[in-house]
Structure 1
């Protein structure tokens, strides 16, 4: 069984940026990097579809921190409820 190759995001970005420059065809880039042209086209379309998110306000890191904070608050609240119920039930 053949294992799939995993490419770093840095490598993918490099290939996509070269494809966007259009100095070489997709087929030439495929030969240059040992990739199938369809793979380069797929990466290019993924890159272009998510490019607008780079300029959106608020980073994902901030969103993750807010969600993490909310979850810690919820865990604390639930722990207090469990402790209370243990006291009430006498366990």
Structure 2
């Protein structure tokens, strides 16, 4: 009984490229590399499923970046409001001191 030949990811991509880009039939590629055509179909399925995940990740990255920017803008706004509140509190305290001094 023969040993199974293992193909590296690079080899799998090259075989799929021959089928998808260069127009070879799966049967031709399978015969050339001495593999069953169903293996090429399985690799193609993995390729496209992986591509879906790749595009989803990019969309998620964009959303996270946008939320990060929005979060920083909100934090800056809160810091500005905190400063205004602190200034107003200081003014109120000074007014109370003046009022107590006048009594």
TM-score (norm: length of structure 2): 0.48
Aligned length: 59
Provide the aligned C-alpha RMSD in A.
2.2
Mapping for residues 38-53 of structure 1, pairs under 5 Å? 38-53=38-53
Give the greater-gyration-radius structure (CA).
2
Displacement of 1:52 in angstroms is 2.2
Unpaired segments of 5 or more residues in structure 2? 62-103
Distance across 2 between alignment mates of 1:49 and 1:39: 15
Question: What runs of 5+ residues in structure 1 fail to find an aligned partner?
Answer: 60-91
CA distance 1:4–1:33, change in 2 (3 Å): closer
Where do 1:55-70 residues align within 5 Å? 55=55, 56-57=57-58
- Does the aligned pair in 2 maintain the 1:19–1:44 contact within 8 Å? no
Deviations 1:41-65 (A, max 9, x none): 1111111111122332379xxxxxx
User: Which protein, 1 or 2, shows the higher relative CO under an 8 Å CA cutoff with sep ≥ 6?
Assistant: 1
Partner of 1:33: 33
